[in-house]
Structure 1
């Protein structure tokens, strides 16, 4: 996590009437990426061509006393520039105890800057731990939708239950984000998104999503910053995605399609690819509720860790930026620096559970991986049984994490849930022969080829997870069902089908 010691938000007792009146003096606020001078608050706002909060609101990367609030001004989201003039706009924000905003606990003013595509990242500090809050923004005479967020329990505090989901791979052109509509209604404390938030490739379908109109500019393969920005705008107009973001905070990492299919770091980078990566990272940061600082060029540190009281430590990895070929017995697949950070911090917090969240698994389901072997041995030697959350594969695969795959008699180190996609590869159930092939391996406990997400309830006694599937995504309004329940008992590595 970046150092937050110099950022703070000043509490006020302003009431709702004060919020609806845009003050000429800026309140003290913290902005990820840098503060804005208060004197600029007197700048005239003017009228918008349409509703400026068309992309909704979001929150993310919560801590015990703070959370990041996000929005982006976009009255014409599917046009280059989103219909915004090239000037900064003052944006007022509020956080309250209640949905009616009768008990405001924090508020302030920041600026939506043209160099950040008029996105806003507010680090609201001084909040109480383990609490739900409501938040909203105002610009000019326009009020944003209301979002709900929460802080984490204080470090070391006893926690009896914490509920998460994890999801990945949402291709707008392939189908409807129906799983996210259901996820928005789920009783969660935090949602993890493990990459492929967008797909960068050309949209070639003649009439995706029952003929939704999209221009040639939006259809083009993403290579420039404007093209990536348009693709995010397209995705973030989805009401299911907006609803899930507004329901609770998210923690997000990238995979490959935020830049280009199967891109990797290391020595195989060339100038045009680095330029493309810089554009992809910049657009990702502009559209994600993250406390990471704005990227500089083609580099952005995405990996990070945090804890939920005494219950669970979460380590989030970057699967692509530092990636090296996996057959090297010495050089790390995830980069030597990131691997050392992970191994040095296995017991960074004194918690019952240790979760590892990543865009792509550390090694193949049935193939040997030197990097994975080293990492799993480090967990094993420290008597830590990790639960690993992965994305990328468009299948749900629940498996025991063996010390040395594919040695079936190898000790069980932990458990892994590779989550299926939100839409990618289309309607399920997937190839039966592919499913049967994986299930021949005794460490693979369950395989599912429908679209959906996984919800996990974490307690001191165990982790209970559920694969939630939708029947189809090529048409809207698909029904959902709980396809499979899983349980992991504390102190006993390995997945039990429940």
Structure 2
């Protein structure tokens, strides 16, 4: 991205600040737009819920193109109601779909009641969007009896079809927790199930917008987005494989002269992520105020489900140190820690100092029920070498052992009652116990972990799974054969997690089955196979 094509920071700041509020424009202030094709082709979604508010999202992208070549801002009316027919309107208003932000709309609806479902829709001229369903969080002191969340990650478009979303929709979760790799930046895949209409590396804002729009065109994904709020974070492929903070990671784009300016690519990717996710406009405005136009977007946040559970959603990409001793420039490649002097450097961080402090404070306020840490990857130690010696993947928590120890120590120091880690990234299901010290077989159990498989992205090295399970006995289950998702159901007394897997993610009509089900009694921190 050349200087001439960088978005103007001051103008974006003004637009984002305006978008953070609600524009109350009288109906008919602009001429009624008549559309020749549906402008809401990417559907609707909601997210960032609070007890009294929620973010509603859509983006105008008609197949025939926008009027005036997409150069003008367009008014979009929105409505929130108690009923699907919109006979009992709760709130309504108008927002502007701005060309500088891809004609995306982020409405932050205030004044809602806690712990209840609502219906919403958008209207633009003579067109109406599909109807979405959203909900608010319980009041801080409330004591809900049940919380059902579905968690998922890694949906590489060319690796398969999105049947998993269709089946998740039938589960009717309260919330979806998406843990990263919503898109992939690659040109294409070997033996692709389906190929991109436009080939080449994704590296500019228009290209990132195009890749998101391609994913959002899937009916099953759109239906799941409209069914309930999404709580989202990212991993690496929303920008570039294996990137670490301001370091590019994957060397191939540079070697192939595909990307010359990683900072510009990251800024474009961050803006495109904001444009396509239900995150609060205020966070984008804060980044712009700090002079980092699209170069920072805070995603780590806390969702409180009354006294039943806290979800601490983390970001382990934006603030991390570079991977240590990466073999041949491959940041995720295996590393023998005995040959890497910087491996255990206590200064190295995965979350960044500020996010670590925020997390420590949040753990100190954890409820006595459930504390859920939603983060991108596998948390527990996984030795890839059978027998003597150790070999670890350098891109996840294994590559940042001092950072993991600090988090484990925080769990102990704050006496967090029932920690539950959710993860993704590895394209395999891994279920295990979180240990105070992974090098001691008799270590104290601090919590449990469910690292989920992918929606479509292929795994690697599935034939080595039995040996890796045997080498790492704190894990009680692993599966690399299935793509899918997980459903976690929390009550005051018990957590029940169900792993759901497709028979063949390459097929549109793939069927789903239960791979395994586990329960955890509150206060025990021990997995039981149901």
State TM-score, norm by structure 1: 0.87
Pick the aligned partner of 1:333 from 350, 363, 369.
350
Aligned to 1:26: none
CA distance in 2, matches of 1:465, 1:263: 31
Distance 1:258 1:268 in 2: 13
Shift of 1:221: 1.0
Within 2, Cα distance between the matches of 1:261 and 1:117? 24
Match of 1:137 in 2: 122
- Separation in structure 1 between the aligned mates of residue 189 and residue 201 of structure 2, nearest angstrom: 10
Q: 1:335, CA displacement in angstroms?
A: 1.0
Match of 1:173, SS?
A: helix
Shift of 1:299: 1.1
Q: Is the partner of 1:279 in helix, strand or coil?
A: helix
- Alpha-carbon offset, residue 364 of structure 1: 4.2
Residue 363 of structure 1, CA deviation = 6.0
Distance 1:34 1:126 in 2: 13
Q: 2:453 aligns with which of 420, 438, 453?
A: 420
Q: Distance in 1 between matches of 2:206 and 2:67?
A: 10
CA contact (8 A) 1:357 1:388 kept: yes
Unaligned runs of 5+ in 2: 1-16, 250-258, 288-292, 325-342, 384-391, 393-397
**In the alignment, which residue of structure 1 is the partner of 2:508?**
476
Partner of residue 390, structure 1: 423
- Alignment partners' CA distance in 1, 2:25 and 2:173: 37
Cα displacement (A) at 1:252: 0.3
Alignment check: 8 A CA contact 1:31 1:110 kept: no
Contact 1:153–1:159 (8 Å) recurs in 2: yes
CA contact (8 A) 2:19 2:95 kept: no
1:431 to 452, 462, 485: 462
Once the two structures are superposed, the pairs formed by residues 323-472 of structure 1 within 5 Å of their partners are: 323-324=320-321, 325=323, 327=343, 328-362=345-379, 364-366=381-383, 369-384=401-416, 385-425=418-458, 431-449=462-480, 450-472=482-504
**1:300-342 residue CA offsets vs partner (Å, 9 max, x unmatched):** 1111112000000111111111112462223322211111111
- Matched position secondary structure for 2:450: strand
**Aligned equivalent of 1:63:** 50
Aligned residue for 2:70, secondary structure, equals coil
What's the CA shift for 1:34?
Answer: 5.1
Distance 1:235 1:82 in 2: 24
**Among 208, 224, 227, the residue aligned to 1:244:** 224
Stretch moving more, 401-410 or 234-243: 401-410
CA contact (8 A) 1:439 1:447 kept: no
2:31 to 44, 52, 60: 44
Alpha-carbon deviations, 1:135-164, whole Å to 9, x = none? 101000001000111111100101111100
1:483 to 1:119, Cα distance in 2 relative to 1, 3 A: same
Does the Cα contact within 8 Å between 1:421 and 1:452 map onto a contact in 2? yes
Alignment check: 8 A CA contact 1:169 1:196 kept = yes
- Cα gap change, 1:465 to 1:382, in 2 (>3 Å): same
The equivalent of 2:266 in structure 1 is 277
| 3-state SS, counterpart of residue 295 of structure 2 | coil
- The answer to whether the Cα contact below 8 Å between 1:391 and 1:420 also exists between their aligned partners in 2 is yes
CA shift, 1:352, in A, is 1.0
Decide whether the 8 Å contact of 1:31 with 1:123 is kept in 2: no
Match in the other structure for 1:178: 163
Secondary structure of 1:185's aligned partner: helix
Q: How far is the alpha carbon of 1:31 from its aligned partner?
A: 6.5
Equivalent in the alignment of 1:17: none
SS of the aligned residue for 2:310 comes to strand
Structure 1 unaligned segments of length 5 or more: list them. 1-29
Q: Take 1:464 and 1:496, find their aligned partners in 2: how far apart are those partners?
A: 9
Question: Does structure 1 residue 95 correspond to structure 2 residue 53?
Answer: no
Matched, 1:316 2:348: no
CA distance in 2, matches of 1:227, 1:437: 39
| Distance (Å, rounded) in 2 between the aligned partners of 1:351 and 1:246 | 32
Where 2:168 maps in the other structure, the secondary structure is helix
Contact 1:313 1:351 in 2 (8 A): no
Distance in 1, matches of 2:506 and 2:519, equals 31
- Describe the superposition over 1:284-312 as per-residue Cα deviations: whole angstroms up to 9, x where unpaired: 11001112532523111111112000000
Q: Matches of 1:280 and 1:440 in 2, distance apart?
A: 38
Distance 1:478 1:329 in 2: 46
Report if aligned partners of 1:75, 1:82 keep a CA contact under 8 Å in 2. Answer: no
Match of 1:13 in 2: none
Say if 2:314 is the partner of 1:297: no
* Structure 1 position 118, deviation (Å): 0.6
Structure 1 partner of 2:338? none
Shift of 1:435: 3.8
Q: For residues 191 and 445 of structure 2, what CA distance do their matches in structure 1 show?
A: 48
- Which of 95, 105, 108 in structure 2 is aligned with 1:123? 108
Q: Deviations over 1:178-215 (max 9, x none)?
A: 11111111121111000000011102568743xx7x53
Note if contact 1:31-1:122 (Cα within 8 Å) is conserved in structure 2. Answer: no
Distance change in 2, residues 1:124/1:102 (3 Å): same
**Which residue of 63, 77, 80 corresponds with 1:76?**
63
Q: Pick the aligned partner of 1:169 from 129, 147, 154.
A: 154
Shift of 1:377: 1.4
8 Å Cα contact 2:380/2:434 also seen in 1: no
CA contact (8 A) 1:70 1:289 kept: yes
